[in-house]
Structures are given as structure tokens and as C-alpha cells.
Amino acid sequence: MKKILIKNGYVVDPKSGKNGHRDILISNGKIEKIADMIDVADCVDKGKSAGTKTKKSDIKVIDAEGLLVAPGLVDVHVHFRDPGFTDKEDIYTGAKAAAKGGYTSVVMMANTKPAIDTVETMKYVLDKGKETAINVYACGNVTMGLKGEELTDMDALAAAGAVGFTDDGIPLLKEDIVRKAMEKTAQLDMPISFHEEDPSVIENNGINRGKASEFFGIGGSPRTAEINMIARDIKLAEGLKASIDIQHISTKEGVQLVREAKAAGMSIHAEATPHHFSLTEEAAIEHGTLAKMNPPLREEEDRRAIIAGLVDGTIDMIATDHAPHTVEEKSKEITKAPSGIIGLETALALGITNLVDAGYMTIDKLIRVMSTNPAAVYHLDAGYIAENGPADIILIDTRISEVYEKENIASKACNTPFIGCELKGKVMMTICRGEIAYEA
């Protein structure tokens, strides 16, 4: 029986708050033991027959001296483009990119082709996910075909394995549909996540209306597009017990609306992307389509408000919105290129560089918003380190600084403005279900 013994690492577990130097013994996909010191000799199964006991040679010892040992990261907002758009990414390559970035659990969005609005497509996605080295989950669609007209059979999708519901990529415009969806997900005790952009006020999405849109000579997306939709959905959720996830928040006003809803006792959660807490519309001017995304990068005050929201708990989660596109697509002019950037392989380093090293939060808090909190919101057995818990663990060297290079990207895609940037922090190993999923 193969076992893994992690020795000499500094363990961070935001869920229990028990941080410190510990050894961890992994067996059968679970954490068997956590102690100040575990000797290899103590891992051998004594008293068993020769054919069944674990021998010393069956134990892989990992020296984590100088490394941070943390629960595997959890991303509740990824696009693996499978089925339908596998020239951009597929579940296999997306999972490899996730493992390299330290993610052991990801939740796929449902705007595939066909969309994840039937049990058959849900089964396809989850079955393919089981063939990867990480835990691949998926949301089901809120409406059939992402059309915003007719609710999916949420009961059937939940029974088939959905962990939440969303029409991400397309805002839900009909209030009666939104309210009914909230009521149903409340009954199911599952989160419903919203892409908050009002298309009626947007001309040429993906670029902020302001300095960036003026630079490109286009209409762009005003901040009110997000603010109005967040306000509407908070109002619709009043009196319900629905768990609401406001996706990829981009405006200071949006952050404040969520803050007020939380203070009123509502079950409102919010995601921030690494690009929204790291960049402003200046990056869109510099990088063009490589920094075009929905919602767009906005102003410095918005970036700082997002960081403040992460610090005070208004924003519960960091989620990448990993959105791969081909080089050909992103080479089109600004109004024709699709929105979105990849993010799984840079998220942790951006958090360490722009949040921890910048003095906004501790590494413990960063792991909380990248692992423990998202797992809790989506009811996943992840985001913690405990005996008998899942052996989903990452080893991080927070001292290393590296330049992010295109040739080292594990994703099929390379659409990101962070190529060439020096980032702090490196995932040295990702262990998922007790097996090594990635090793630097």
C-alpha cells in the first residue's frame, strides 16, 4: 500500500486555524495522520501478513522544508470549453493547468455547446473530469440553452451531480425567471451564481467606458451595467434563503452593495478575479485584446475597493474565470475579439504578489479565500487539512520569484496580459486524492 509522508513543512489550515510545522501522512486518498513529527518507521504496517502490509519502500517521503503546506485550491469559476469549443481548451488540458496552479478542485461553468442543461451533458462533463488528476465539478444551467426563457430541470441536474447553477456568460434579464430560479436553488440548498452585466447600456463590451474606451474609440461598458444588475438581484433575493454568488465583481459600488446585503443578513457571496484586483483599464490600453474581459478592467479606485472587500470579508472568494481563447480569435480587432483571459496558473502567484507581499492580507487569509471559502459556499469536501479528510494538498514556495513565460503554460491557450510579468510564489507540488497530480 503506497503512502506519502510530507515532512518538515509549515502547515496552514484556515478552517481550523491550526498553523505550524507538522508532518502529514497520506494513505488511501485520505490524510491518515497529522503530528509534530512522524517517523517513517511508524508508517510501516506492523503485524500484517507480508502480502498486505506497507513496507518502508512503499512510503514516498517528501521533504517540505521551507515550504508552505496548504489545502488544495478551489476555483468555482472556470471555463474548460468542453464540449463544443475544444480548440480553446478541453477538460484534460484545463485540469493540467489547474493542477500546475495548485488547484485540486474546480467548478466548470455551463456555457458549453451543448450547454450543461441536460443530464446527458452533465454526465459527459463529470465522467470526463473523473479521468483527470483533479476533482472536476460542474454547474448546471439556470435556463435551457442559455436563452433566459425556461428553467432547466434543476432537480434532475442536481441529482446528476451539479454543484450549483448559473448561466454565466449571459446575464439573466427576466425577473420572474431569476426569482423562480432563486426559489428552486434555495429548496435544493445549492448556490446560484450571476453574471451581472446589463446589455442594454453596453456598447462594445470587454472594455471599460472611460479612459480605455476613449483610447479605442468605442462605446465600452459603463460601471452602471454591473451596479444595476447587482442591486436588482439583491432586491429579488430579499425574503428568500437562496445562496447568491455575485461573479467576477468589478466596481466599487458593486462591492458596497454586497457589503450592505451581508450586513442585512442575506446569504450573498461574491467572487473577485486576480485580474480585477491586480490590473486597471490601463492594462487594456497596453495589452489590447489580451486584457479584454467581461466585466472589464476598471479604475484604480475599483481595484482598491475589491482588495478592501477581500480583506474585510465582503468578497468571500477569489475565482479565476479561466477563459481560454485561441491566438487567432484574440488577434482580431478590439471590437471583434472575444472577452476573457486564462488564469489558473497565475492566480496564486498574483495573490501572493499583489495581496500578501503588498501587505493587504496574510497568506492564511489568501488560502482561505482561494480554498476554504469557495469550498464552503459550494458544499465541496475540500479546503481544509484534517485527519480523515481528503488528501488534497499543495506545497508552495513563497520565496521564489519567476517570470511567467508563454512556453511554460500548461493550458492550450495563452491569452493573458501577465506573460513576461515577474510573480512571487511557486507551486512545487499538487497532491489530489492522495496522488501527485503535479510536480514542479
| DSSP single-letter state for residue 220 | B
**So what's the pLDDT on residue 397?**
98
In the predicted model, what is the mean pLDDT of residues 31-43? 92
Angle between the 224-237 and 252-263 helix axes, to the nearest 10 degrees? 10
CB-based contacts of 246: which residues, under 8 Å, 6+ apart?
A: 193, 194, 196, 230, 233, 254, 258, 268, 269, 270, 271
DSSP state of 407: G
CB burial of residue 367 (10 Å; 0-12, 13-18, 19+): buried
Question: H/E element holding 310?
Answer: helix 300-312
Which residue in the block uniquely carries the three cell numbers 510579468? Answer: 421
| Tens of pLDDT, residues 396-418 | 999 999 999 999 999 999 999 99
Q: What percent of the chain has pLDDT over 90?
A: 95
DSSP element (H, E) containing 24: strand 20-27
d(CA 383, CA 14): 8
List, for residues 97-115, the tens digit of each pLDDT value.
Answer: 999 999 999 999 999 999 9
Strand-pairing partners, residue 61, are: 5
Strand ranges for 134-190 from DSSP E: 135-138, 165-166
pLDDT of the residue at 276: 98
Q: What is the mean pLDDT of residues 84-88?
A: 98
For residue 53, what pLDDT is reported? 60
**Cβ-proximal residues to 362 (8 Å cutoff; 6+ apart), any chain:** 356
Is residue 341 within 8 A of residue 415, CB to CB? The reply is yes
Query: In terms of Cα–Cα distance, which of 400, 311, 430, 402 is closest to 362?
Result: 311
Q: Which of 233, 316, 321, 392 is catalytic?
A: 321
Q: What is the share, in percent, of the chain residues with pLDDT greater than 70?
A: 97
Average model confidence (pLDDT) for the chain?
Answer: 96
Tell me what pLDDT residue 2 has: 83
pLDDT in tens, 263-305: 999 999 999 999 999 999 999 999 999 999 999 999 999 999 9
Mean pLDDT of 46-75: 81
pLDDT band at residue 58 using 50, 70 and 90 as cut-offs: confident
**Helix/strand/coil for 378:** coil
One-character DSSP codes across 223-237: THHHHHHHHHHHHHH
Decide: 99 and 348 in contact? Cβ < 8 Å.
no
pLDDT, residue 48, reads 56
Is 245 labeled as catalytic in the residue annotation? Answer: no
pLDDT tens for 362-398 read 999 999 999 999 999 999 999 999 999 999 999 999 9
On the question of pLDDT at 177 being above 80, the answer is yes
